[in-house]
Each structure stands twice: as C-alpha cells, then as structure tokens.
Amino acid sequence: MDDVLPKVSRPSVRKRALGVILPRGSRPGARYKGAPGRHLEALSRSSSVQMTLVQRAEDVRQRTLVQSEDARPALVQRSSRDARPAESRSLWRDLFSVRLESVHINESSLQGTFGSFVPCYIKGFDKSDLNNLLFDEFNVNYNTLEPIFRQGSCLLKTVVEDVVKYTDNGAPIKRHRRKIIPVHSKKIAGKRFWNEHILLLKELGGFIEEINNVTPEYVRSFEFDSKLMPSTWIVVRIDGCHFHRFSEVHEFVKPNDDRALNLMNLCAVAVLEKFWEDIVFAYGVSDEYSFIIKKTCNLYQRRANKMVSAIVSFFTSTYVMRWNEFFPQSELKYPPSFDGRAVCYPSTEILRDYLSWRQVDCHINNQYNSCFWKLVASGKSKREAQNSLKGGQLQKKIEELAIDYNKLPVMFRQGSSVYRDKVDTVPTHEENGNSFESKGKVIVEHVDIIGPTFWLEHLNILDE
C-alpha cells in the first residue's frame, strides 16, 4: 500500500505535518522558520546525540521548505477522497525516524535544554489522517486494536437469561435476571447504543443531542470543584463504612482488638510519610482517623474532593496491603471501605478543641464498650446489655462490673497520636547554598492531647 500524508485540502494541517520540533513557547501549530537559532545552538551543546537529531530535523525542515510548494502540482490522485504528495512520503519517514530515535535517548539527556522541545507535527490531524499514518508508517490497523483500548469500558445493568439450577435429569432451569456487564461501545451517546439497551434507556433516558454536537465546555460546566478556605487548618477525617459488620465477619476481639488498632496506626503513619510536606498530625480511635493539614498547604490547590479522595484511597489501599502482617491467620474476606470529609478551622485554638472533642469521645466510647461486652460475657444478650446501659452513668456501671478502667491499655483509653518527631532531626547537607533538614521519624504515641502539656512539649507540630 502507498504511503499517505494528511489531506492537502487542509493547508494548516499539512503545514504542521511538515514542521519540525518546536521550542517551548512557540505558537502551537506554527512552522519553525529560519536558522536553528539559540534554542538549537543550546541544544547542540548538550550532547552529540542530541545534535545529530537536531541536524536531521533541520535537514528535513530545509527539504520541506523547498519541496512543499514544488510537490503541490505533482499530486497523485489516489482516490476520490484523498490526494497525497508522493515526494513528501520520505519526509514523513525522516521526521518519524527522528522522533523514534529521540525516544531512545537516555532519560538523563532529556533534562534541561532538550526537555524544552515538544513534538507538534501531528497537531490538528483528523481521525482519518491519524489512522492512515498509523497504518502506512507503522503497519498498525487501528480498528483491529482491542476495543477496551479504543473505546473504554461501560458497566451497566441489563437483563440476561441465567441458569439458576438444574432439574434431576440435568436440564437447566433459566430465569431472567439483572446482571452487571462490561460493554465496549464505539459511541455511547449514539441512538444505536441506547436502542440495544432498553433497560438503561428506561432508567436514564436518551441524550438530547448526538455526541458530535456536545462540546467539552458544556460537559465541564456541570463540574463542581470546591476549594477550601485559605489560611485555615484543614482536618480530613476518615471513618470506616459498616465496620460493625466488618469486625464481626473478621472476628475482631471485643471490645478492642489491638491488632486492628495497630493496623489503623500503621496506615496513618504511611499517610503522614506520603504527604509529609502537608500533614503535620493525626489522631485515631477505633475505625476513624483525623489528619491535620497545615494552614499554608496548597495540596491539590486546596480542592476538597481531590484532597479527601487521595488520602482516603491511599489509607484504604495500605489497609488492604498490610492486612496479613496483623492478621496472618485470617484471610481478608472482603475489602474494607472508608468515607472522608474535609473541614476548615480558622485558629489553632479551635483546632485543639476539635482534637479534644475526639479524645473525649474516645473515652466515652471505650467506657461504654467495656461495660457492654462485660455484660455480654456474663450471659446477657446484646439487647439486654443495651437496655441495662440506657440512661445510666457509665462510671457507676464500671464500678458495679468491677472493671479497673485505669489499667486498660492506654491505646484503648486515649487513642493514638501520630506525628513527626523533630527531636532527632538534624541539619544535613548544603546544596547550592541551601540547607536541608531531614523529615524526622513518624511516631505513634498514646497521650493526653486535651491538656496543654503535650502541645507545649511539641511546639513544632502546630507551629504557624
């Protein structure tokens, strides 16, 4: 098959096709005119390999300037749809040869000057141009690639005929059931897709316009990106979803399982190490954790949805990956899930009030759970235990049940505080006149954070 180039009927596209690598800051789609200039001269000094590529690109450009106009009268009519300049086929090969060779340059050589150059000779091509280019230059038929690569995936509910059981003689008994199936469709906004999935059409309705008439700006106009208030403390609090059931299925020890709590602590440490520049403190109890993000943080431009989703997803994935370290004899029967929210607090005093509230809640919950499971262990049902604790003072119940509350593990009573220890932090090396300090080790302690003592001993945590 003959080689092809973008349509000559689109001069702007053809000019881009016959251009070369442009310096950063150049107008997109513009041809690189004149001598190589300071960009190519700077590039030539970076390495001999880069200079070879630049020379080849410049040779192609010079040939293009001479032949682009001469080739226009010599067009060969290949079909009623396309006409391509035969002479320019070799230019295409040279351009792509330069591009492919540049891919093999050592990554370190791409830093600095060479990194300021960007390929732009296929900008503006339509689908047919790119398909022809793939086939002629690389022998790739785009339409034969896997549908999941070309079209993405849709998950939808549909009615399928499913085998529910078999008769005594082995005959299958089928029933119509709703089932989630993956679909790879070329055009999910087209009428054909919706006509093939009537159930989906009934639930969502049809599109008002065809996809070709829908602009990206119109779709993006529905996105809501809330930014958190600047110069305020940000608290991202994550909480386990349906962890009562999760703890029962995985047979957690009641009222407190130190394995589960230590797994939560490990995940919190991982989050602080991951976001070490922004998260300064974390407090956790049971299946929840609160992460304190400093006032000057600009993580994800302070977009709440990005910040919360990043922290929650990293915490959850760490929980799953490290499960076997704490529960080696218990297989994870289904993945846990956590939700998250972000709240801004304008002052350090209010932030400390929030943390005090969480630790008080830890005390109350632990007292209740200690009494509740003591009653269950004595033979009462869960409902009877709940009724006996209604309206009563927990401290009195603890005394009646002979629970020595102060001898319970401190982690159960006070929760876990995670922060970066600055005691062992020492200045390290100097680079370009700038001194750097180590991040410090992330540690977990079980201390009173309601009173002032802890904060006076760790002024660096909430240092504004």
- Most confident region among 15-19, 158-162, 375-379, 410-414 by mean pLDDT: 410-414
- C-alpha 150/C-alpha 421 separation (Å) is 49
Domains of the chain: residue spans and CATH: 11-144 (no CATH), 151-211 (no CATH), 233-457 (3.30.70.3000)
Mean pLDDT of 22-26: 41
Using a pLDDT cut of 70, give the percent of the chain over it. 65
Quick one: how far is CA 89 from the chain centroid? 42
Instruction: Please tell me the predicted confidence (pLDDT) of residue 120.
Output: 53
pLDDT score at 366: 94
For range 169-181, the mean pLDDT: 83
Res. 251: pLDDT tops 70: yes
When mean pLDDT is compared across 86-90, 161-165, 363-367, 375-379, the lowest value belongs to 86-90
Our measurement of the distance from residue 18's CA atom to the centroid of its chain's CA atoms, rounded to an integer in Å, reads 38
User: Do residues 199 and 158 touch, judged by C-beta distance below 8 A?
Assistant: yes
- The two structure tokens encoding residue 135: 């086939």
Phi, psi of 291 (to 5 degrees): -110, 125
pLDDT at 270: 97
With contact defined as beta carbons under 8 Å apart, do 444 and 417 qualify? yes
Neighbours of 198 (CB within 10 A): 11
Average pLDDT of the segment spanning 270-285: 96
| Predicted confidence (pLDDT) per residue in 293-334, tens digit | 999 999 999 999 999 999 999 999 999 999 999 999 999 999
Q: What is the pLDDT of residue 158?
A: 76
- pLDDT of 205 > 90? The answer is no
- Asked whether the predicted pLDDT for residue 63 surpasses 70, the reply is no
Lowest model confidence (mean pLDDT) among 80-89, 200-209, 442-451: 80-89
pTM above 0.75, yes or no: no
Amino acid at 174: K
Measured distance CA(371)–CA(395) in Å, rounded: 10
Tokens read off for 447: 């201390």
Map tokens 């078999």 to a residue. Answer: 166
Look at residues 7, 127, 164, 136 and name the one whose alpha carbon lies nearest to residue 79: 7
Residue 225 has pLDDT above 90, yes or no: no
**Bridge partners, 284 (sequence order):** 289, 416
CB-based contact 271:291 (threshold 8 Å): yes
